[in-house]
Homo-oligomer: A and B are copies of this chain.
Amino acid sequence: MSKSVAIFSRFPLASKLKESLPFIDFIDVKQTDPTPLYTAEVILADYDYVGPHLSKLQNIKWIQGTWAGIDYLKPFIQNDNPPKFLITRTSGENFGQLMGEHVLATMIFWERNYFQARENQYLKNWDKSICSEDHRSLAELTVGILGIGSIGNRIGRTLNYLGSTIYGYGRQEINLNNEEYEHISQYFTQATLKDFLANVDYVINVLPATPQTDNLLGNGILENCKGKNVIFINVGRGNIIKETELINALNQEWISGAILDVFENEPLSKDSPLWEMKNVFITPHISGNSRSRDIIKKFVMNYERYQNNQPLINIVDFDKGY
């Protein structure tokens, strides 16, 4: 059983981890000298740091990643020969909380036109009319969530608590009577995606990037949203719709706005027309920011399981792609 852990991350983790796990030797690996990785049994790492070294890890049994999406690892993994060791993601409740907060706040700012309030502040302009007297409250919205894993369900449950009607979308048939889906009033799959889009006020994408989700909202399917003041929120991955198709959907007014945290290409190029579109709000992939405190909590929990030969939490399944 390894009593040392290699840390390869931009987050400040080592000293706080030492407080929680005082008998473990934490090795802070520098990018200028990655050799300690090659003999490590356990690594706590950012995926973009560790990715290029995957093939050189001789003794590795477990990598705990510092965030949820494994996109940065994928180029270094052969589909027909997935890793023999475990990779676990930092996912779950904390991202659900943070991404839920992002979704709530941006929806409310959008419905109330509070971006305009901020601009009016600069102009010293007291204008009560910015927030229309019949603006929509969350309680009056039907919100469709693409992806009903832990994050999607957390977002849906919160919106449902605030009064929204929740529609869910996923790959498999599910039992809506299951307690974990009790906030969902209707459920849709690929075969009924058009009905889903035709009946919601918001479309929130939480799906990971997989071959099944590539351009899922492309090929004109967003035309089903037309005429209903639908807003698209993307906190999942930019692969869900090609950027050109998203811009077209906005220009055609199939959807009336987009609140975008993730993009087909990141960072978003300065050439992208999205930056200047009035009906778009852009954040730079920070809706579910990993925070040191959450990474540490997850690592400590998983390390204790590892020591006790218990199954780890959030193991990457390379068949599913996340």
- A101 contact set on B, CB distance < 8 A: 108, 112, 137-138, 162
| A184 nearest CB across to chain B (Å) | 18
| Residues B289 and A131 in contact, CB atoms below 8 Å apart | yes
Query: Given A105-B105, A137-B97 in contact, is the A128-B285 Cβ separation under 8 Å?
Result: yes
Pick from B117, B126, B161, B282: contact of A117, CB under 8 Å? B282
CA distance A283 to B286 in the complex (A): 25
| Residues A112 and B121 in contact, CB atoms below 8 Å apart | no
Pick from B98, B158, B286: contact of A130, CB under 8 Å? B286
Verify if A134 is at the interface (C-beta below 8 Å from B). Answer: yes
Query: Given A11-B133, A281-B121 in contact, is the A105-B102 Cβ separation under 8 Å?
Result: no
Contact stretch, chosen from A50-58, A231-239, A290-298:
A290-298
Query: Given A102-B112, A135-B289, A137-B101 in contact, is the A283-B117 Cβ separation under 8 Å?
Result: yes
Residues of A within 8 A of B (CB): 11, 94, 97-98, 100-102, 104-109, 112, 114-115, 117-118, 120-121, 124, 126-128, 130-131, 133-135, 137-139, 158, 161-163, 266-268, 270, 275-276, 280-286, 289-293
